[in-house]
A and B are shown apart, each in its own frame.
Chain A
Amino acid sequence: MGSGACAPRRRAARRNGRVEVAFWYAYGDLVRKVLLELVARFNESQSRVWIRAVHQGDYFEALAKLRTALAAGAAPALSHVVCEVVPYLARAGVLEPLDAYEGAQAMPFVPALAQGGSFAGGSGQPTVAIPFNRSTPIAFANARTLEQEGVRPPTTWEELVSVARRLTRRASDGQVRWGFEVPISWWYWVAMVGQAGGALVDADGRPSLGGEAGEKALRFWQRLVHEEGVMRPPPGRDYQAWQSTNESFLQGRVAMMWSSTAFVRYLEDNARFPVVAAPLPRDVRASVPTGGTMFVLMRTAPDEEKQAAWEFVRWMCDVEQTITWSTRTGYMPVTRPAVERLLDRGWYVRHPNDRVAYDQLGAVAPWPWAPELFRIERDIVEPRLEEAVLTGSDARALLDEARREAERPA
């Protein structure tokens, strides 16, 4: 039972004289299509490196495989992982420090999306993660329904309740159009904790899970589901719940939802009604976490492969690729030059939903640089959110229990 970081090194893989880099990636549908197009374009653009993209399921499945492969000494050189797990992987010593790589220190990232801005204390750490598909939670509404009901996207929690009431319709055949839907998931709860004025860890680094704000967020969800009857908790967990929410929205069974900026293009392209995006409503303040993933290089990979992987990562962060990736999916453009070019081209005027996502970056609450963060998310908080919302259990008791568990060493 040792550390995966000590796994033996192998020789660099080659393909037709090029250095072959295995790139494990997660997610499907449109983003997968766009990513594979970019990988193919990179492979055609030069003759030194061959990126072999391997699909590994959703984020959490991909992470499970990556950890197992790291422990077995069979990890790829390049992958991308959710933000919350970066501090843990960094502490485990499996991520390649990138500061010494060519151009690493001068990459003009949008501060809120890079390691330094995504984590409180992230800039004091060696750079191990490069922003890739970054997002924030965002509200989407069926513009036609809003117009029919004479309401505008809510800007506060109280407005959310009243607008959702107006939008909820129960037909005589039992069919319901829900006013509001959001996956009962860590990411959205964290957003609400921030909006209610809380933070996941307190000033001395203890996992407070938002304190009163954490409970307030849970009670607000309980109110929407049980008291107001305006929100349907989607079935399934993780991305199944996200997908279900998107589907319900596209089929007109939900008038308003919270989802990710990553779905802006997908929703716009597939809805039979105009889709309008809005910032998440505030309680005592506006606040959103960042989401999505960051590129990481595995420390145990052969040096040649790491150099080749870095070449690809830099290429992906070039203006053209950043713009292609962002405009075709909805993920945030991660570099300032890309944003400036989009502004110059009038992209945000023509695509106001993208503008909403970009403007919301001003309300980003960084994640704590806490190696325990991912365990707290998956093992401790996530299961209790569902329990609180679906069974109506006491929010304070559940979060007290979660805090006690979070303070216990793993």
Chain B
Amino acid sequence: MSPRSRWHPWVMLGPTLALLVLFFVVPIGVAVYESFFSWDLLTPARFVGGENYAALSAHGHLLGIAGRTIAYSAIVVAGTVSLGLALALLLDRPGRVFAWVRASIFSAYVVSWVSVALLWMWMLDGNGGVVGRALRGLGAGPVSLLGSVHAALPTLAVVGIWKLTGYAMIVFLAGLQSVPPALLEAAALDGAGPWSRFRHVTLPLLAPTSAFVATTSLVTSFQAFDVVRIMTQGGPARATELFVYAIYEQVFLDLSVGKASALTVVFFVLLLALAALQLRAWSARMGVDR
């Protein structure tokens, strides 16, 4: 099929392309340019070459941010997908009680990140919080999970999982509706037990759903900001400094547009690499399917 005029595709693409260029390509270009300057918004910018990158790389700062962001995302994605799937399987039943439980779990997803963060801060308080008291009851002593250099990041990830699992569960429930009952019945007639039916029928058919949930959770977790801003401000000792928060901190709190731009560029490259990996995985899959 060929267009009546060679301009038609461009006319159709035009509005989207213009928005993409204006709000994505141009800002990235500006960020790349500004990353070579020392600039604080108020005084004239000074060209510093790669110094912003060098300063960020010194003492493992940049690697630390990238590592923490990837670790946070890995925990959130793994937790959200597995818990969402488990809950969907558990609650894929008729009846008001199950509907109520499903709605309750999903409700966390519609609550704003700010409210979620405040709620969890209250629950995690080392002395008065529910979690703090429970840990003390288990003989753990006064534990401040958000105040611990080792526990703060996993704790934030748990909050992320809690928030996103409801969404994953709903998507998996929708996915389960599309699994033909006839296939499950046929497998049962062939002697497959519940685990075999799940492993060899349900799970393969849920693969596109899993990929969708994993991708959306990954995108959301890479954008984590509110939860860090409210619960830890990147602390303790930078233990929860993730990319988006680090960019915010550099530009708004530390007065350094150049370093924030350099961080943005590195973040962009990291996301690009992840997207390329994903595309490669998809194309490999398509190749197998063909």
Q: Tell whether A387 pairs with B55 under 8 Å between CB atoms, given A3-B44, A4-B41, A235-B126.
A: no
Q: In this complex, what residue of A is CB-closest to B252?
A: A64
The answer, yes or no, to whether B59 is at the interface (CB within 8 Å) is yes
Nearest residue in B to A4 (C-beta to C-beta)? B42
A220–B241 CA distance with the chains assembled, in angstroms = 26
A219 within 8 A of B: no
**A4 proximity list for chain B (CB < 8 A):** 41-42
Q: Which residues of B contact A405 (CB under 8 A)?
A: 55, 58
B residues whose Cβ falls under 8 Å from a Cβ of A: 34, 37-46, 55, 58-59, 126-128, 136, 139-142, 144, 146-147, 149, 231-238, 250, 252-257
Instruction: Given A67-B41, A92-B43, A235-B126, verify A401-B59 contact (CB < 8 Å).
Output: yes
**B42 in contact with A70 (CB, 8 Å):** yes
Instruction: Report whether A379 and B256 are in contact in the complex, using a CB–CB cutoff of 8 Å.
Output: yes
Assembled-state Cα–Cα distance A391/B141 (Å) = 19
**Interchain CB contact under 8 A, B255 and A236:** no
User: Any chain B CB within 8 A of the CB of A346?
Assistant: no
* A2, CB-defined interface residue at 8 Å: yes
Pairwise interchain contact A236-B136, C-beta atoms closer than 8 A:
no
Picked from B38, B236, B237, B238, the residue with its CB within 8 Å of the CB of A409 is: B38
Separation in Å of the B248 CB from the closest CB of chain A? 9
Given A174-B139, A235-B144, A401-B59, A68:B41 Cβ within 8 A = yes
A233 interface contact, C-beta 8 A: yes
Query: How far apart are the CA atoms of A88 and B42 in the complex, in Å?
Result: 10
B contacts with A: majority SS: loop
Count the A-B residue pairs with Cβ separation under 8 angstroms: how many?
Answer: 108
Q: Which of A376-391 contact B (CB under 8 A)?
A: 378-379, 383, 386-387, 390-391
Q: Which 6 A-B pairs have the closest CB atoms?
A: A64-B252, A92-B42, A235-B147, A1-B45, A237-B233, A379-B254
Complex CA distance for A174 and B138, rounded to whole angstroms? 10
- How many Å lie between the Cα of A401 and that of B60 in the bound state? 13
B278 to chain A, nearest CB (A): 33
Give bound CA distance, A247 to B58, whole Å.
Answer: 37
A234 to B233, CA, bound (A): 13
Contact B139 A390 (CB under 8 A): no
A375/B254 in contact, CB under 8 A? yes
Q: Given the complex, which residues of A lie within 8 Å of B139, measured CB to CB? A: 174
Residue of A nearest to B152 (CB): A235
Interchain CB contact under 8 A, B235 and A236 = yes
CB-CB under 8 A from B146, the residues of chain A are 235-236
Q: Is the CB of A176 within 8 A of B142?
A: yes
Q: Contact at B147–A233, with CB atoms within 8 Å?
A: yes
Least CB distance, A252 to chain B, in whole angstroms: 10
Measured between beta carbons, the chain B residues less than 8 angstroms from A61 are 252
A/B interface sample: 8 pairs, CB < 8 A: A3-B42, A5-B42, A70-B42, A92-B42, A173-B136, A174-B140, A253-B127, A409-B38
A240 within 8 A of B: yes
A410 touches B38 (CB 8 A): yes
Contact A60 B55 (CB under 8 A): no
Expressed in whole angstroms, the minimum distance between the Cβ of B42 and any Cβ of chain A is 4
- Among A61, A174, A176, A401, the most chain B Cβ lie within 10 Å of the Cβ of A174
B126 / chain A contacts, CB cutoff of 8 Å = 235
Instruction: Please determine whether B253 and A378 come into contact, CB atoms closer than 8 angstroms.
Output: yes
Pair B256/A386 contact, Cβ less than 8 Å: no
